[in-house]
Chains A and B, each alone.
Chain A
Amino acid sequence: MPATVEREKELIARIIAGETNLFHELIRPYERMVYISILTMVRNQQEAEDAAQEVMINAFRHLKAFRGDAKFSTWLVTIAMNEARQRLRKAKAAPHESLDEDKEDREGDFTPAVLTDWREIPSEALEKKEMRQKLREAVEQLPPLYREVLVLRDLEELNQEETASALGIKVTLVKVRLHRARMMLQKMLAPYLSAVAPARKGFFGRMFQ
């Protein structure tokens, strides 16, 4: 469970003052977030783990640069996304991947898949392991510019402002890319999701506040 903001502030001050061992406690709630957000970008477990370690070490070394105007978690995920982007650039061997191109932001075909044979069937499909595998594959296929926004918003559940700050882009761009990322995912997964019953109103409300 994440520490309170006050507790984090106190930990950070004490670490900077020399109680360096408290750094373990400080980052513990964010171990998963850092690893998973990098993994979805670099798409390789070993590299993601190495990168996550680098991120935490860098965070330790530069802890004094944390000003406290953002949340510590946002600061950490900013470092994580920068590390992931750097590694993606290095691995540019994959020619279809480009982080620099902005062409994805132009108008394009982002229409959802229309489910013609949609019908009400119990939602056990969502509980299936295969479904989660399909989702991971679909996320991997998103262009990096969309993937990073989707990962921070819908996987790590950062809000729009935190996402914009972590990625160094404007909130309006977060919104545009998020919408397109979600539509692309829907399109890729619709064939498997068509057998899932509609959610009752408010059932998932908690997630989308």
Chain B
Amino acid sequence: MNLECKHVWERISEYLDQQLDPKLLKDIEKHLENCEVCSAILDSTRNTLVLTADDRTYELPVGYSERLHARLEKAIREKAKPEDDSA
């Protein structure tokens, strides 16, 4: 079956997450082999996700961990034990 580009775009996310059923996957891969536009869209989408997952994209503020644990320490001392929420 020949897929239209539009139908390939609708499936890009599932394609990247490897959630397509084998038949559709085959059709889409066939389409991608011959369609430079869709291949480019797929690659650029994949690249944005690589960037999103890159640890360097988001950084922790300097001293974040120290401040967090200092405040936690205070809260832990104030309340010696976690509350009972089961009531």
Residue contact A40 to B72, C-beta cutoff 8 Å: no
| A132 contacts across to B, CB distance below 8 A | 51, 54, 56-57
Contact B85 A155 (CB under 8 A): no
- What residues of B have a CB within 8 angstroms of the CB of A209 in the complex? 18
Task: Name the A residues within 8 Å of B64 (CB-CB).
Answer: 31, 35, 49, 52
By the criterion CB–CB under 8 Å, are A190 and B44 in contact? yes
Cross-chain contact of A56 among B6, B52, B60, B68 (Cβ < 8 A): B68
Q: Is A169 positioned at the interface, with any CB of B under 8 Å from its CB?
A: no
**Which of B9, B61, B80, B82 has the most chain A CB atoms inside 10 A of its CB?**
B82
- What's the least CB distance linking B48 to chain A, in Å? 5
A49-B64, A136-B58 known; A157 vs B53 contact (CB < 8 Å): yes
Residues of B at the A interface (CB closer than 8 Å) are 6, 9-10, 12-14, 16-18, 36-37, 39-41, 43-54, 56-58, 60-61, 64-65, 67-69, 71-73, 75-76, 79-86
Residues of A within 8 A of B14 (CB): 175, 179
A186 within 8 A of B: yes
- 8 Å CB contact of A21 from B41, B44, B76: B76
Does A96 sit at the interface, judged by CB under 8 A? no
Is A208 a contact partner of B41 (Cβ separation < 8 A)? no
A188 → chain B, closest Cβ, in Å? 9
CA A36 – CA B54 in complex, angstroms? 12
Q: From DSSP, what is the main secondary structure of chain A's interface residues?
A: helix
Q: Which stretch (A69-77, A79-87, A97-105, A113-121) binds chain B?
A: A113-121
A interface with B by C-beta (< 8 Å): 15-16, 18, 20-21, 23-24, 27, 31-32, 35-36, 39-40, 45, 49, 52-53, 56-57, 60-65, 111-115, 118, 123, 126, 131-132, 135-136, 138-139, 150, 154-155, 157, 160, 175, 178-179, 182-183, 185-186, 189-190, 193-194, 196-199, 204, 207-209
B17: chain A residues within 8 A (beta carbon):
160, 208
- What is the minimal beta-carbon distance from B79 to any residue of chain A, in angstroms? 6
**CA separation between A132 and B73, bound complex, in Å?**
34
Inside 8 A of A16's CB, which chain B residues have their CB?
81-82
Check B49–A154 contact: CB distance below 8 A: yes
**Nearest CB in chain B: distance from A175 CB, A:** 7
Interchain CB contact (< 8 A) of A65 among B36, B37, B57, B85: B85
Q: CB-CB < 8 A to B37: which residues of A?
A: 114-115, 118
Assembly CA distance A157 to B51 (angstroms) = 13
Whether the Cβ atoms of A64 and B36 lie closer than 8 Å is no
24 intermolecular pairs with C-beta atoms under 8 Å apart: A20-B76, A24-B73, A53-B68, A53-B71, A56-B72, A60-B75, A62-B82, A111-B6, A112-B12, A113-B44, A114-B37, A115-B40, A135-B57, A150-B52, A157-B53, A182-B16, A183-B13, A190-B44, A193-B44, A193-B48, A194-B40, A198-B43, A207-B53, A208-B16
